[in-house]
Amino acid sequence: MNVKVKELSSFKRELKVELTWDELEAGLERATNKISKEAEIPGFRKGKAPRELIFARFKEQIEKEALSDLINESYPQALEQEGIEPICCPEIAMENNRIALGRSLTYRALFEVLPEIKIDKYEKLNLKKKVFEVSQEEIDGAINRLREEKATLHPSESETARKGDVVLIDYKLSTIEDPPIEDSGRSALLELGSGKHPADMEEGIAGMKAGSTQEMRVRFPNDFGEKKFAGKVALFHVTLHEIKEKVLPPLDESFVKVMVPQVEGVRTMEDLQEFVKKKLIESYERLSSEDLIGQIGEQIVEQNLFDAPTSLIARQLRRWLKQSTPDADDSSIPDEVILTYFKEKAPEVYERAEREVKIEMALGSVSEGEKITADEEAVAERLTALSNGQSFSEKTRSSLREAVEHQVVREKTYQFLKEHAKITDVPGKQPSRTDH
Q: How far apart are CA 192 and CA 194, in angstroms?
A: 6
CATH number at residue 33: 3.30.70.1050
Entry pTM: 0.76
What string of DSSP letters covers 377-395? HHHHHHHHHHHTT----HH
Q: Which CATH number do you get for residue 206?
A: 3.10.50.40
| Domain-located, residue 327 | yes
- Could you say which of 91, 112, 133 is where a domain stops? 112
Report if residue 350 sits inside a domain: yes
Per-residue confidence band for 433, with pLDDT thresholds at 50, 70 and 90: low
Within a domain: residue 129? no
Query: Of the given ranges (108-117, 184-193, 323-332), which has the lowest mean pLDDT?
Result: 323-332
H runs (alpha helix) in 221-268: 253-259
The answer to whether residues 418 and 284 belong to one domain is yes
Q: Is the pLDDT of residue 261 over 80?
A: no
CA 177 to centroid of chain Cα atoms: 32
Domain count, the chain: 3
Q: Nearest 5°: CA angle at 95, between 93 and 98?
A: 105
* 187 and 81 belong to one structural domain: no
293 and 238, same structural domain?
no
Instruction: Mention every residue, 6+ apart, whose C-beta is less than 8 A from residue 343.
Output: 350
Distance CA 168, CA 159 (A): 14
Query: What is the C-alpha to C-alpha distance for residues 260 and 79, in angstroms, rounded to an integer?
Result: 61
Q: What is the pLDDT of residue 161?
A: 96
What is the per-residue pLDDT for 158?
94
Domain termination residue (choose one: 214, 247, 280): 247
Quote the Cα angle for 3-8-11, to 5°. Answer: 100
Q: Are residues 156 and 25 in the same domain?
A: no
Provide the 10 A C-beta neighbour count for residue 354: 21
CATH number of the domain that 382 lies in?
1.10.3120
103 and 161 assigned to the same domain: no
Quickly state the pLDDT bin for 149 (edges 50, 70, 90).
confident
CA dihedral sign, ordered 233, 239, 244, 245: positive
Strand partners, 242: 168
> Residue 395 burial by CB count (10 A; 0-12/13-18/19+): exposed, middle or buried?
exposed
Which tens digit of pLDDT belongs to each residue from 87-140? 999 999 998 878 888 999 999 999 999 999 988 878 789 999 999 999 999 999
127 within some domain: no
Q: Which of 63, 83, 112 is the last residue of a domain?
A: 112
Average pLDDT, the chain: 92
Phi, psi (deg, nearest 5) at residue 242: -140, 150
- Helix, strand, coil in percent for the chain, rounding step 5: 45, 20, 35
pLDDT band at 296 (very low <50, low <70, confident <90, very high): very high
Q: Could you tell me if residue 144 is inside a domain?
A: no
Same domain, residue pair 230 and 270: no
Distance in angstroms (rounded) separating the CA atoms of residues 155 and 153? 7
Res 215: pLDDT: 96
Beta bridge partners of 154: 245
- Same-domain status, 319 and 419: yes
C-beta atoms surrounding 357 within 10 Å:
21
Taking each helix axis as running N to C, give the angle between helix 269-302 and helix 394-419, from 0 to 180 degrees, rounded to the nearest 10: 80
- Between helices 376-387 and 394-419, what is the axis angle to 10°? 130
> Same structural domain for residues 94 and 164?
no
CB-based contact 312:111 (threshold 8 Å)? no
Distances (CA, A) of 356 to 189, 301, 417: 41, 10, 17
Assess whether 25 and 87 both reside in one domain: yes
What's residue 120's pLDDT? 82
Q: CA-CA distance, 103 to 241, in Å (whole number)?
A: 87
**Whether pLDDT at 162 is above 80:** yes
Peptide bond into 427 cis (omega under 30): no
DSSP-derived secondary structure for 389-419: T----HHHHHHHHHHHHHHHHHHHHHHHHHH
Asked if residue 351 and residue 320 are part of one domain, the reply reads yes
Top pLDDT among 226 and 241 is at 241
Which pLDDT belongs to residue 370? 94
CA-CA distance, 276 to 354, in Å (whole number)? 40
Measure the CA–CA gap between 396 and 399, rounded to whole angstroms: 5
pLDDT over threshold 50, residue 434: no
Neighbours of 367 (CB within 10 A): 21
CA 340 – CA 318 distance, rounded (Å): 13
- 228/288 same-domain check: no
> Are 325 and 420 in the same domain?
yes
Q: Is 141 exposed, middle or buried (0-12, 13-18, 19+ CB in 10 A)?
A: middle
| Owning domain of residue 179 | 152-247
Compute the distance between CA of residue 125 and CA of residue 298 in angstroms, rounded to an integer: 10
253 inside domain = no
pLDDT band at 392 (very low <50, low <70, confident <90, very high): confident
Residue 66 inside a domain? The answer is: yes
- Is the residue at 139 inside a domain? no
